[in-house]
Amino acid sequence: MALQPMRVDWVASPPPGAYPHRRLAAPPRPYGGPPSYPVPPRWGFPLLAWRWPTSVATDAKPADSVDQVQRLARTASHVLALAGVMALWAAGSEVWRYVLLLLSRHGALAAGTVDVSDAMVRASSTVAAVAAAAGLVLTLLWLRRARGAAASAAGYGPSRSDREVLAGVLVPGVNLVVPGSIAAELEHAALRLPVDARPRPSRLVRWWWGLWSCTLLFTAGTIAWSFRSSVQALADGVLLHAVADLLAAAVAILTAVLVRRITSLLLPVPTSALRRMRVVGVKDAPEPALRSVRASGSPR
């Protein structure tokens, strides 16, 4: 009788310690209060106020921002106002000199009075000239920034370059016409009007343009009159200088107003819309309906 081979099944089992024992889930810990830090945390937003977005550094020339225009407008308007006040002081000094000339017809004047008058005329004229020069420089810087900001807002560039604008303001004869057209074009671009429309200067621009031209012409005539050497010509020259100073004061103050006006047009939101509104009182309003059932937890 033949023997049959035995069937053997091999079963592999992991050795002890091959797998870690499963731990039971730890019970939830009780609430221990809000988190605390040993030192102030360094994460979070920086302590900075809101500001206009700055330009990213690129190879292209950065555009002029409204913030730059506002800062220059504020500085230029203050210096122009100072120049206007100094021009009024110079006009008053010239008027006092003319009064002393009228009084000198009836007798000699005290040396101290004449010296004080001469000192006031020289000091006021010098300070007014320095303030006017500073105001002119700051206004030209503001004009350059304002033209760039207006071009960015309107979508088209100015018709004149910076050199042409500088020549149009400083060259005698040309500066009677060009500054007014520059102001009209700047106002046109600040209002975001189309490029194909003809600029129509506002009443403020027209008044400033006419006063600027009259002041330049009158100042040129006063300088030409000062070359006359007769006694009556010298006396009339004092009055002409006083009127020229008054016109210069008016131009300085009106220029400050024009700078502020065009700068306000360049703002994305009108300043009048930024006023804080509050309810002062309510009239003829119906009485509010009271709830019949109070909410739970509310004070009785």
Is pLDDT at 140 greater than 80 in this prediction? yes
Per-residue pLDDT reduced to its tens digit, 176-213: 999 999 999 999 998 888 888 888 999 999 999 999 99
**pLDDT tens readout for residues 152-162:** 888 888 888 88
Length of the chain, please?
A: 300
- Mean pLDDT across the chain: 82
CA separation for the pair 85, 92 (Å, rounded): 11
**How far, in Å, are 6, 94, 212, 247, 290 from residue 3 at the CA level?**
9, 147, 133, 138, 104
Q: CB of 143 within 8 A of CB of 182?
A: yes
pLDDT of 204 reads: 94
Domain ranges of the chain: 66-268
Stated pTM of the model? 0.68
Distance, in Å, from the CA atom of 68 to the CA atom of 150, rounded to the nearest integer, reads 12
Cα torsion angle, 17, 18, 22, 23, sign: positive
Provide the percentage of residues in the chain whose pLDDT is more than 70: 81
Closest CA to 143 of 177, 182, 175, 170: 182
pLDDT of the residue at 274: 58
- 12-62 pLDDT, tens digit per residue, is 777 776 666 666 566 778 887 777 777 777 777 767 766 655 555 544 445
Nearest one of 210, 208, 213, 214 to 186, comparing CA atoms: 208
Q: For residues 72 and 266, what is the distance between their CA atoms, to the nearest angstrom?
A: 13
Stretch 71-98: mean pLDDT: 93
Distances (CA, A) of 76 to 186, 229, 257: 17, 38, 11
| pLDDT of 265 higher than 70 | yes
State residue 241's pLDDT score: 92
Distant-in-sequence contacts of 69-75, Cβ < 8 A, 24+ apart? 69/142, 69/145, 69/146, 69/149, 69/263, 69/266, 70/263, 70/267, 72/138, 72/141, 72/142, 72/145, 73/142, 73/146, 73/259, 73/260, 73/263, 75/138
For the segment 231-242, the average pLDDT, to the nearest whole number, is 88
Judge contact between 206 and 185, C-beta under 8 A. Answer: no
Give the Cα separation of 192 and 177 in Å (integer).
24
Alpha carbon 18 to its chain's center:
77
